[in-house]
Structure 1
């Protein structure tokens, strides 16, 4: 299957999940607003969600695929299944023990993460229980991540992209129940946290079924640190850290924000919006690139590897840049029209929009990092991306802390400083990754590539002008179109249409090229119910 087709399959399924997630976030904001309980929810989800992004959404799978694929090629399917079983058993045991340790330590951890509410005993009690209920999701995702890697190596992408929908379905149910049943908001929050773990069990179970249907028989047994496990971990752990640099930065930002009431909620809402392009485009392309780049590297096809990376970056930027532009130009329009209701006010929307704008200019870097790390993983080089990720984290911690406290001293919103630092560190990470690839001649941007990116930028600039005009007339458009919800849909739809027309008008893409990218490659795996 072609790179574009693989990306389209995953992005389409991920879009469905994200739309349900958006519905869940609307229910969260309506139930809890931007206060103590919303801060508790974002804390309860922070650690398991970080691991979900590290593992289930691609970073661990990207690092595991070359190891599993190499054993499969050299020693056959049975040896690869043994390797996967050994790695899964060992990692599950380690992460399960880690989960239990965190749950025991949660009464001491939560006050540090929610320091703004540490004097409120009820908030602390609910925070501890909610985080303990959600934490087992982490162990479920350990199994799910490895199963996703097995499926992706076998050319099956759809199931691993589809199962995250159950996180949104399971958590949405108790939130909707909160509107219908006479229960306290705290009880709704606890039920929603428990639903996170329930969804993890469902996801792991479905992926296990998918792997069995693929013909791969895995076994979860006693953990053993075998040579294959050591080799897999040596590559997978640095790879996961490299792929998850942005997630680590996000956690650092949230820890700093814990001292500011409501700041954690602002970060949660902004995070959900600016990570949408990452989930739809960056992760999907990153996962699809790894098998292709691995084949090119093993066969010595340098030209094929270059073209694959050029296509991946072009495809990523064609979808990411308009999303980044929209988040930068009309953040308040988007948030106020969609989220403001119930306990979530227009003032909350304005604060979130200011922060979202500072994340928006980092969005292309977040996606590019997902596209530029697979060339390292394909060559089983996971250490240098890890070093670059650590550098990015250090920048976030130092610059973010400095800006956070300096902004607060000036009477400004300290969360703005955290967003700025996160975007700066993301671009530094991209610069380091691209610099090494270019220096080692693993990737050399061609004139055609540069021309294509310039045309995508021009199309995005036209769309930005239209969105800016709409933003200035937000109130008028809401009255003409009868509702702000209708206005934002119309504006975003017209902006997307204008962007698409400009892509063809500026010849950033042609119809023949579009058909070619979606055409199945010779020898590509057939699409089944799982791929």
Structure 2
């Protein structure tokens, strides 16, 4: 067995995901400045969420959970892995083509089902029109996810991780160009999305060919292998797509409140930075590694990989969560308060950011724990857990709305996230034994990481109170936020290294291996 270098893989995927998320920040900053919270952004969010929702079901969720372990098994055993991938490609392409056609025909029904509050105002027709343009994005991204799964299973993470960067490059360029030409920025943005999807697909398709695996379009065949893939993929799709489903439920609940969909969207994009960098990196790298180790009977190595993945997750998500809770207003103000986004929008977005921040570690830990099940091709158990979490989310989002208003979806999503982690953790420990339990080093370092994160958050909060007046001065607020970030980093990494929460030398070694 050729092992996957876990930490090096985390760094590779994390680097490209960080690049994508930073460019995503630029994209959201431009959206907030050029479009701003309001009917147009509400409509765009509802339209763009549709292909992203179905992508989780038909692509990333199903194929990361079902396709990657089965492909990796065949690759390891030299059992015609390329033929299996070709059959999966044909079946997925046919299914998503059919879905795209149905989505285009029934777009008004889809918008009504996910944003009922739009009915009766201009947002509904806008969302339907935007949906017709952006929905084909799901076809390109679903196929790109399959090629990415092939690359990840072979230990080649860079191209698949770099592909999302293209969407943000295309979107930012389109909005800047549209604004410079005096055109409607939203028109340039929506038409760019399917174009970016084609570019992303082309990148990973070419990388797969360079890896020695050649896939071409063909007619689907329902073979025993494909029936098995579908049986595993269907429950996995819901288990992996629980976050997107919760976001759609939140959108549905908030859609009858002016600007609420826009506020929740912008807040969601902010906490997606650490979630994407850490959670996606861990999920992508850990699943094929666990699959190979479990197949080889290496339970000790599997537990080591799980524990280091959990450690890596806490290392970056706990301080991020502390910052989101301690200083959300400065973060949102500096990033988004310009153009069409004003102080009232900032206050609302900051509240949602703080609530989502409380759930951030849970969203990432799900990515650590789910591969324990998926590596064993057990997707039914996470499916049942996801069902419980989704019901809890819906009950809280709807039930709390009369009490707390538009922010109830954020509270519900964070609570459901922690419930999902508890179910995954307890279920894995009960069913799988020691291989599914974090080791002593994880707990030893974990509580230290938590303590240092809380210390950093407290210092940041006090610093914000002392420097609050600077954030009202346009020429100084950027330096004030930079000062807070640097102070937090020095405290976190300095104290963390001193108390043994982590060892920075371990990451230096990983970076050297990655460059090699």
For each residue in 1:251-306, what CA deviation from the matched residue of structure 2 results, as whole angstroms up to 9, or x when unmatched? 11112211212111011101101121111001101111112211221121111111
Change (3 A) 1:153 1:129: same
Equivalent pairs counted in the alignment come to: 511
For each residue in 1:221-245, what CA deviation from the matched residue of structure 2 results, as whole angstroms up to 9, or x when unmatched? 1122111111112222322321221
Secondary structure of 2:43's partner? helix
Structure 1 unmatched runs, 5+:
521-525
Alignment-derived partner of residue 417 in structure 2 = 426
Change (3 A) 1:512 1:107: closer
Q: What is the aligned counterpart of 1:494 among 472, 487, 491?
A: 487
Q: CA deviation at 1:173?
A: 2.5
In the alignment, the residues of structure 1 paired with residue 114 and residue 243 of structure 2 have an alpha-carbon distance, to the nearest angstrom, of 19
Change (3 A) 1:98 1:397: same
Structure 1 length-normalised TM: 0.92
For each residue in 1:483-528, what CA deviation from the matched residue of structure 2 results, as whole angstroms up to 9, or x when unmatched? 21222122112212210111111111235544555574xxxxx879
Alignment-derived partner of residue 523 in structure 1 = none
Change (3 A) 1:321 1:59: farther
Change (3 A) 1:481 1:99: closer
In the alignment, the residues of structure 1 paired with residue 504 and residue 396 of structure 2 have an alpha-carbon distance, to the nearest angstrom, of 45
Q: CA deviation at 1:374?
A: 0.7
Q: What is the aligned counterpart of 1:20 among 18, 23, 28?
A: 23
- Whether the aligned pair in 2 keeps the contact of 1:107 and 1:128 (CA below 8 Å) is yes
- Whether the aligned pair in 1 keeps the contact of 2:62 and 2:234 (CA below 8 Å) is no
In the alignment, the residues of structure 1 paired with residue 512 and residue 285 of structure 2 have an alpha-carbon distance, to the nearest angstrom, of 15
Q: Are 1:87 and 2:84 matched, yes or no?
A: no
Change (3 A) 1:51 1:156: farther
Change (3 A) 1:128 1:479: closer
Q: CA deviation at 1:178?
A: 3.4
Alignment-derived partner of residue 456 in structure 1 = 449
- Whether the aligned pair in 2 keeps the contact of 1:17 and 1:164 (CA below 8 Å) is yes
In the alignment, the residues of structure 2 paired with residue 255 and residue 343 of structure 1 have an alpha-carbon distance, to the nearest angstrom, of 24
Q: CA deviation at 1:149?
A: 0.7
In the alignment, the residues of structure 2 paired with residue 49 and residue 485 of structure 1 have an alpha-carbon distance, to the nearest angstrom, of 33
Q: Are 1:234 and 2:231 matched, yes or no?
A: yes
Alignment-derived partner of residue 351 in structure 2 = 354
Q: Are 1:174 and 2:171 matched, yes or no?
A: no
- Whether the aligned pair in 2 keeps the contact of 1:72 and 1:80 (CA below 8 Å) is yes
Change (3 A) 1:483 1:59: farther
Change (3 A) 1:283 1:159: same
- Whether the aligned pair in 2 keeps the contact of 1:92 and 1:143 (CA below 8 Å) is yes
Alignment-derived partner of residue 46 in structure 1 = 49
Change (3 A) 1:113 1:433: closer
- Whether the aligned pair in 2 keeps the contact of 1:40 and 1:127 (CA below 8 Å) is yes
Structure 2 unmatched runs, 5+:
none
Alignment-derived partner of residue 269 in structure 1 = 266
Alignment-derived partner of residue 68 in structure 2 = 65
Q: CA deviation at 1:75?
A: 4.3
Secondary structure of 1:379's partner? coil
Alignment of 1:334-353 (within 5 A): 334-353=331-350
Secondary structure of 1:164's partner? helix
For each residue in 1:95-120, what CA deviation from the matched residue of structure 2 results, as whole angstroms up to 9, or x when unmatched? 11111111111234334544444333
Q: CA deviation at 1:398?
A: 1.3
Secondary structure of 1:206's partner? helix
In the alignment, the residues of structure 1 paired with residue 26 and residue 505 of structure 2 have an alpha-carbon distance, to the nearest angstrom, of 37
Change (3 A) 1:326 1:53: farther
In the alignment, the residues of structure 2 paired with residue 30 and residue 486 of structure 1 have an alpha-carbon distance, to the nearest angstrom, of 20
Q: CA deviation at 1:416?
A: 1.8
- Whether the aligned pair in 1 keeps the contact of 2:58 and 2:96 (CA below 8 Å) is no
Alignment-derived partner of residue 143 in structure 2 = 143
Q: Are 1:396 and 2:393 matched, yes or no?
A: yes
| Greater Cα shift, 208-217 or 234-243 | 234-243
- Whether the aligned pair in 2 keeps the contact of 1:51 and 1:141 (CA below 8 Å) is no
In the alignment, the residues of structure 1 paired with residue 18 and residue 61 of structure 2 have an alpha-carbon distance, to the nearest angstrom, of 16
Structure 2 length-normalised TM: 0.94
In the alignment, the residues of structure 2 paired with residue 108 and residue 425 of structure 1 have an alpha-carbon distance, to the nearest angstrom, of 27
- Whether the aligned pair in 2 keeps the contact of 1:376 and 1:382 (CA below 8 Å) is yes
Change (3 A) 1:515 1:124: closer
Alignment-derived partner of residue 39 in structure 2 = 36
Change (3 A) 1:271 1:54: farther
- Whether the aligned pair in 2 keeps the contact of 1:39 and 1:262 (CA below 8 Å) is yes
Alignment of 1:20-419 (within 5 A): 20-52=23-55, 60-76=63-79, 79-121=80-122, 123-183=123-183, 185=184, 188-404=185-401, 406-407=402-403, 412=404, 414-419=405-410
Secondary structure of 2:496's partner? helix
Change (3 A) 1:300 1:87: same
- Whether the aligned pair in 1 keeps the contact of 2:108 and 2:128 (CA below 8 Å) is yes
